[in-house]
């Protein structure tokens, strides 16, 4: 274990996430994580009693970091909420298209959702709860957009947020399969339609 890593638990999570993002959860053995983190097996089991509990902690940590990322995009000072929402969706292009080129999906919901839902109930619940928090953040942003006038009145912000998240999650999965961004482009246009935003004000990147 290198001396500069003062938070060993977080270091193990970070190293494990880097590998699992590439290979999936089942495809990574404990020894590979230990080697990458340069820690003995005893240190791993001090923080995580099993690989499944490690996976649960990994997903909780990923969601926590993702929500911080969301808050930064959705809470930009001085910008209307609609613009912040579209900046958040725009960030999906970088994440999905870069990962598609390298066959590596950085979104663990896309990468692990189907796998862990059948493998581990605690990990499934961790991802389910995480996506619920993401959708709740989006619903709040939609409400803010209605309040500041950058979005029209929305009858059910929570339902709209869920529809949008499902739309983009599906688009990210198709982008991974196709290795090109047409699904994301479609999601962008569909989002503008659902939010009643003018396409001319929010042109596609590139």
Domains, the chain: 1-49 (1.10.10.60), 51-199 (1.10.357.10)
For 180, residues 6+ apart whose C-beta sits below 8 A from its C-beta are: 100
What's the pLDDT tens digit per position in 61-94?
A: 999 999 999 999 999 999 999 999 999 999 999 8
Mean pLDDT of 46-74: 95
Runs of H (alpha helix) within the chain: 8-23, 30-37, 41-47, 51-74, 81-101, 108-119, 121-148, 157-178, 182-195
Q: What is the mean pLDDT of the chain?
A: 90
95 band by pLDDT with thresholds 50, 70 and 90: confident
Sign of dihedral through CA atoms 42, 112, 162, 73? positive
Q: Which of 64, 95, 124 is nearest to 184 (CA)?
A: 95
């Amino acid at each position: 274990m290198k001396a500069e890593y003062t938070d060993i638990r977080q270091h193990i999570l970070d190293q494990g996430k880097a590998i699992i993002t590439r290979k999936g959860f089942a495809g990574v053995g404990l020894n590979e994580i230990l080697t990458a983190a340069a820690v003995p097996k005893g240190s791993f089991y001090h923080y995580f009693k099993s690989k499944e509990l490690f996976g649960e902690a990994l997903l909780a940590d990923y969601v926590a970091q993702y929500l911080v990322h969301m808050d930064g995009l959705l809470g930009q000072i001085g910008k209307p909420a609609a613009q912040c929402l579209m900046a958040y969706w725009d960030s999906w292009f970088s994440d999905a298209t870069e990962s598609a080129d390298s066959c590596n999906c950085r979104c663990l919901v896309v990468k692990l959702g189907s796998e862990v839902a059948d493998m581990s109930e605690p990990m499934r619940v961790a991802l389910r709860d995480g996506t619920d928090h993401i959708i709740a953040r989006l619903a709040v942003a939609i409400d803010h957009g209605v309040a500041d006038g950058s979005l029209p009145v929305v009858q059910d912000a929570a339902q709209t947020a869920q529809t949008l998240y499902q739309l983009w999650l599906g688009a990210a999965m198709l982008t991974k399969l196709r290795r090109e961004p047409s699904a994301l482009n479609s999601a962008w246009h569909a989002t503008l339609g659902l939010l009643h935003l003018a396409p001319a004000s929010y042109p596609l990147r590139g």
